[in-house]
Structure 1
Amino acid sequence: MSLPDQVDVLVVGAGLAGLNAARTVARSGRSVLVCEASDGVGGRVRTDTVDGFLVDRGFQILNTSYPALRAAVDLSALDLHPFVPGAAVRTEDGTLHHVARRPSWLPRTAVTRLLSLRGKLGVAAFTARSVLTPPQRQAAAPERSAADDLARFGLHGADVDRFLRPFLSGVLGDGELATSSRVVSLFWRTFALGDLTLPGRGIGAMTTHLAARLPAGTVRLDTPVRAVAPGRVTTDHGPVRAGAVIVATEGTDAAALLDGRVEAPRPFALTSHYHVTDEPPTRRGLLHLDGTGGPIVNTMVLTAAVPSYSPDHRHLVVSTVLGAEPLPEPRLRAELERIWGVGTARWEHLATRPIPHALPPALPPTPAGLRRPVDLGDGLLVAGDHRDTPSVQGALVSGRRCAQAALAALH
């Protein structure tokens, strides 16, 4: 495989950040090359096919309220399928409670026994703060841990452990709720305002769509980058000179490539287990949470929301646990039977996806505005959700910021 001798901007990594950086550079008229070590685009935002089923690399959700997503992607081209706007929570006494994030479900939430009266008022006040405060002010607000911030609204004890902890753990990978209050407030805003969806062809359709919007030949797969230096990148297929180099990989890989110019984060890990069944435990695309503090933070019948994840009449169930260690199958099935209230003996194990670097931590102290520097000087830049918020929004924004900084340096 031949590579060009020289380009204006070389991007290392074809994940969300790298692809959006390349798109921004290409639209300016500058030449850009993306080197991707694997055999496909997407990084952590990728979908595999296993026995005809679509299997995302970890349970992921596309939130339509992200401004950077709407700017970078034609959402109408993704065949988005929305989830039911709420969650079901199984508690210690075996009761299945329902909570909502949309007005149509509020009466049902108001009478649920999942939350105390103080908890319901606290969630309402926390939501109002997140929705009504401009995002820029939230990103620079006085900072504390998510747990401490929730406590300021009277949310602690069972109100947190039954609902907020399992829900936020699945989103952040942080079971201790140590994440910055700035990040959690912004996330809560997006949950209240946006639709939670998945593309008909899996979460990887988003990155495939981004790559397709680049000039032909921009992305080179199976092209690992071995070394990065100002103005030069060494790949398995030879060196390439570049006016600017954007390292758009996961945080620990970026720190290794950049030889200590950025600090390696200690990422949160998640593992997703996929099962196939003829008889689904529900036919509603509704997220189910374990309110007992068990190892499974969430589980869902994906095909109830997105039927095209299955090649036939069977249904696909995804279940997420914290950490990179898969849960032993007997323990996993026992927990699923309790959460769903049905037997799992006939469920067929399809795949297990440990994601050791699922999400970068966003622990206090974070920089005001939640943005870490992307321009390292000497034409070297770094992009990824570890430079902004740990989200699709953060990855896309960091890619755009890097591209803009690179273009400014080239001028």
Structure 2
Amino acid sequence: MTDIDADVIVVGAGIAGLRCAAALRRRGLTARIVEAGTAPGGRIRTDVIDGFRCDRGFQLLNPSYPAVKRHVDIDALDLRVAGRGVRIVDDSDAVRTVADPTRHPTLLLETVRSAVGLGLIRPRAVAGAVRWALPAVGSVRRLGSAPDAALADDWDRFGLRGPLRDSLLAPFLSGVLADGVGATSDRYVRLVLRSFLLATPGVPNAGMQAFPEQLARGAGVDIMYSARVDRVTDDTTTPTVRTADGTVLRSRAVVVATDAPAAAALMDTETSSMRGLSTWWFDADSADSDTFLRVSGAGGSVVNTAEMSAIAPGYAPTGKTLVQATTLLGAAGPAAESVVRAELDRLWGRSTSSWRVIVRHDVSHALPAQAPGTPLRRPLRVGDRVLLAGDHRDTPSIQGALVSGGRAAAEVARLLG
């Protein structure tokens, strides 16, 4: 038999690849990860600039995800959670607060006033919202097999219209889903809603990259960094991976754990449509010490903004304030800085002209688009000894990436006997 470099070569040190390698090792198989970047994480990376921790795209870790509970040491990450609710800036530029009274009891009266002022509690809309959301608190298996439609169409079907939809749900979810028109699978959105109901998302105090770094340490396998793969060759016994510098690695199986476009380029498979986001990071000269996400109830380019240093003090040097602002990234490119600043002036109720742009991250492949009817789990095997893993094979989330990595490891173990 031809000498091999490992039982399994995993292409990509993102969340799916790291989880796959760890699961393979626990099954007694050797694995080596080949990663184009200089650190683990894939799309989850943090740049430290002038002492500020700027994640490559605004991202949160939800501790309620079942795979996170099983495979991540949340306490070791020092997870700092955002406020459980949202600040909505309405069309009169008034700031309205909708908060969970069980978490923020002192905001109960303000939440009631905001709900009344925004018109969120109109009986027909509330009844429609309850009917729409009810499956999210039921069986995940039943929810996953339910009929599917575009989110906007299902809201119409349930009679969910008016301010509750336009000023709260749609603005909030547009940033979560990278979808400004409600084209996402309603079935998937209910799964997202379920995760928000179960726990409040947050960020590690040292930045989101602390999460994949923990996975990399726990995987206990060799990771080749700065090694871009340009070819994967399938074989009935010994598939190979070739890197850009000509290095050829042999194994008994290969798992391509990249994002969908990269996997399609390597394996000539059908790719998933991707949605993009731009995140602006500002060194702000003033602070509200506000942990709540802010959205515009009147529309606009900025889908959300947050004072990250209030949520997680480790994101900024002592005495400094770090604010993020996220916009959708489409074919026309990122929003103009003047547009973003004008909207931030309104969202924060002050001039932001003195705020210094630290960096802007344009992530064109932020999330796979989960169109209506897309299976929540897709096949992994694309050859005799080659498999795919990633959030494009399950749900477009950290949960999906972790699950797909575990699935790939289990399938490889069955394949290799």
Question: Scaled by the length of structure 1, what TM-score is found?
Answer: 0.94
Instruction: Pick which of 15-24 and 319-328 moved more.
Output: 319-328
- The alpha carbon displacement at 1:237 in A equals 5.2
In the TM superposition, what whole-angstrom CA distance separates every residue of 1:64-116 from its partner, at most 9, and x where no partner exists? Answer: 10001111111111011111100011111222111234645566544412214
CA contact (8 A) 1:223 1:237 kept: no
Say which of 131, 140, 145 aligns to 1:140: 145
Name 1:28's counterpart in structure 2: 27
Whole-Å Cα distance in 1 between the matches of residues 15 and 196 of structure 2? Answer: 21
Asked whether 1:193 is paired with 2:202, we answer: no
Partner of residue 232 from structure 2, selected from 216, 225, 228 = 228
Distance 1:32 1:148 in 2: 45
Superposition pairs for residues 7-406 of structure 1, below 5 Å? 7-101=6-100, 103-104=102-103, 108-111=110-113, 112=115, 113-114=117-118, 115-118=120-123, 119-131=125-137, 133-215=138-220, 218-230=222-234, 231-235=239-243, 236=245, 238-260=247-269, 263-280=270-287, 282-323=288-329, 325-367=333-375, 370-406=376-412
Secondary structure of 1:19's match?
Answer: helix
> Is residue 395–residue 401 contact of structure 2 (8 Å, CA) maintained in 1?
yes
Local SS of the residue matching 2:174: helix
Q: Deviations over 1:28-64 (max 9, x none)?
A: 1110000001111101111111111001010001111
In the alignment, structure 1 segments of 5+ residues that lack a partner are none
Percent identity for Structure 1 against Structure 2 = 41
What residue identity is the alignment partner of 1:227? Answer: R
The separation in 2 between residues aligned to 1:237 and 1:393, in whole angstroms, is: 34
Q: CA deviation at 1:145?
A: 0.8
Q: How many residues align?
A: 401
Asked if structure 2 preserves the Cα contact closer than 8 Å seen for 1:37 and 1:223, the reply is yes
Report if the CA contact (8 A) 2:89-2:298 is conserved: yes
Letter of the aligned partner of 1:399 in structure 2? G
Distance 1:152 1:219 in 2: 49
Distance, in Å, in 2 between the alignment partners of 1:16 and 1:56 is 15
Distance (Å, rounded) in 2 between the aligned partners of 1:150 and 1:110: 23
Q: Is the 8 A contact 1:91 1:291 kept in 2?
A: yes
SS at match of 2:309: helix
Of 106-115 and 150-159, the range deviating more from structure 2: 106-115
Q: Provide the rounded CA distance (Å) in 1 between the counterparts of 2:290 and 2:134.
A: 28
How far apart, in 1, do the equivalents of 2:101 and 2:367 lie?
Answer: 27
